[in-house]
Structure 1
Amino acid sequence: MFETDRLQLRAVREADFEKLRVFNNDVRVQKMMTRDFVVPFGDKLDELLRAGLSSALLYVIVETKDNHEFVGIALLFDLQKKNRDAMLGLGFLPEFWGRGYASEVVRFIVDYAFQQLALHRVTLRVYGNNAAAIRVYNKVGFVQEVVQRKANWIDGKWQDVIWMAVVDEDWEVSRKDDLKIVS
Structure 2
Amino acid sequence: MFETNNLRLRAVREADFAKLHDLWNDYRIQKTLESEYVVPLGVKFEEKLRSWVKDGFFYAIIETKENSEWAGFINLFNAENKNRAATVSIALLPAFWGQGYATEALRFIVDYSFRELALHRVNLQVLGHNAAAIKLYKKVGFVEEGVQRKAGWSDGKWQDVIWMAMLDEDWAASRKENV
**Pair in the same fold by TM > 0.5:** yes
CA distance in 1, matches of 2:93, 2:154: 18
CA distance in 1, matches of 2:139, 2:167: 14
Tell me which amino acid in the other structure corresponds to 2:130. N
- Give unpaired runs (5+ residues) of structure 1: none
* Aligned twin of 2:107: 107
**Contact 2:62 2:71 (C-alpha < 8 Å) held by counterparts:** yes
1:139 and 2:139 correspond: yes
Shift of 1:102: 0.9
* Aligned twin of 1:84: 84
CA distance in 2, matches of 1:99, 1:127: 21
Tell me which amino acid in the other structure corresponds to 2:102. A
Shift of 1:80: 0.7
CA distance in 2, matches of 1:50, 1:19: 12
Give the TM-score normalised by the residue count of structure 1.
Answer: 0.96
Give a deviation string over 1:101-160, Cα, whole Å, max 9, x none.
111011000000000000000000011111111111111111000101111111112111
* Aligned twin of 2:4: 4
- More displaced 10-residue stretch of structure 1: 105-114 or 17-26: 17-26
1:38 and 2:34 correspond: no
SS in structure 2 of the partner of residue 170 of structure 1? helix
Q: How many residues align?
A: 179
**Contact 2:17 2:50 (C-alpha < 8 Å) held by counterparts:** no
- Give unpaired runs (5+ residues) of structure 2: none
* Aligned twin of 1:165: 165
SS in structure 1 of the partner of residue 23 of structure 2? helix
Q: CA RMSD in A?
A: 0.8
The within-5 A match list for 1:58-69 is: 58-69=58-69
CA distance in 2, matches of 1:33, 1:106: 16
Shift of 1:21: 1.4
SS in structure 2 of the partner of residue 76 of structure 1? strand
Tell me which amino acid in the other structure corresponds to 1:146. G
SS in structure 2 of the partner of residue 14 of structure 1? coil
Tell me which amino acid in the other structure corresponds to 1:46. E
Give the TM-score normalised by the residue count of structure 2.
Answer: 0.98
* Aligned twin of 1:20: 20
